[in-house]
Amino acid sequence: MNISSEKQHVVLLADDNVADQRLFQRALLRHDPDIDLRVVSDGEEVMDYLKHRGPYRDPNTAPKPDLVLLDINMPRMDGKRTLREIREDHVLKGLPVVFMTTSDDGRDVRDSYELGVNAYLVKSPNIDEFFSAMETVVRFWLGVAWLPTKMRQMEKEQA
Partner 1 sequence: MSSAMEMPRRAVLVTVMAVGVVLVIAFSRLVSGSNLSGAHTFVAASVVFASFTTGILAIFRYYLRRDSIFFFIGLAFLSASVMDGYHLLAEGAHVHGDVSLLWSPDASRLYLAIALAVSVGALELLRVFEVEEGKWENDLTILLAFVACGALAFWYFSLVRVGQPIVFSSPLNHPVAFAALFAFVIVAIGFFRRWRRGNNDIEPWMVFAAIFAALAEAVTILFSKGPVGEGFGVAHIINDVSYGIVLFGVLASLNTIYREEKEGRQHYAAIVNTTEEAILTIDAKGMIITVNPAAEWMFGYRVEDLIGKNVKVLMPERFRAEHDNHVAGYRPTTPSKVIGVDRQLEGRRLDGSIFPLELQITTALVKDERVFIGLMHDITKRMSAQKQIEQQVKDLEEFNYVVSHDLQEPLRTLTNYCKLLIDDMGGRIPDEAREDIRYITEAAARMRCLVNDLLQLSRATNQELTRAPVNIGDCVETVKRDLHSAIAESDATIKCAHHLPTVLGDQTLLTSVFQNLISNGIKFRNDQPPRIEVGAQRVNGSWEISVTDNGIGIEDGYRDQIFGAFKRLHGRKAYDGTGIGLAVVKKIIERHGGNIRVDSAPDKGSKFIFTLPHHSDEAVFPDGDSLADVWRA
Residues engaged in binding partner 1 (CB under 8 A): 17, 19-20, 23, 26, 102-103, 106, 123, 125-128, 130
- Supply the minimum distance, in Å, between the C-beta of residue 19 and partner 1: 4
Which is nearer to partner 1, 22 or 152 (by Cβ)?
22
Residues in a beta bridge with 36: 10
Four-residue CA torsion sign, 114, 93, 151, 138: negative
Query: What are the E-state strand segments in 16-141?
Result: 36-40, 67-70, 97-101, 119-122
- Supply the minimum distance, in Å, between the C-beta of residue 112 and partner 1: 16
Which is nearer to partner 1, 70 or 142 (by Cβ)?
70
Write the CA distances from 36 to 11, 28, 87, integer angstroms. 6, 9, 23
Contacts of 136 (CB under 8 A, 6+ apart): none
Which is nearer to partner 1, 136 or 153 (by Cβ)?
136
Which is nearer to partner 1, 14 or 142 (by Cβ)?
14
- Supply the minimum distance, in Å, between the C-beta of residue 127 and partner 1: 4
Which is nearer to partner 1, 128 or 155 (by Cβ)?
128
- Supply the minimum distance, in Å, between the C-beta of residue 75 and partner 1: 13
Alpha-helical (H) ranges within 69-147 are 79-88, 106-115, 127-138
State the amino acid at position 3 in one-letter form: I
* CB atoms near residue 19 (< 10 Å): 7
- Supply the minimum distance, in Å, between the C-beta of residue 42 and partner 1: 15
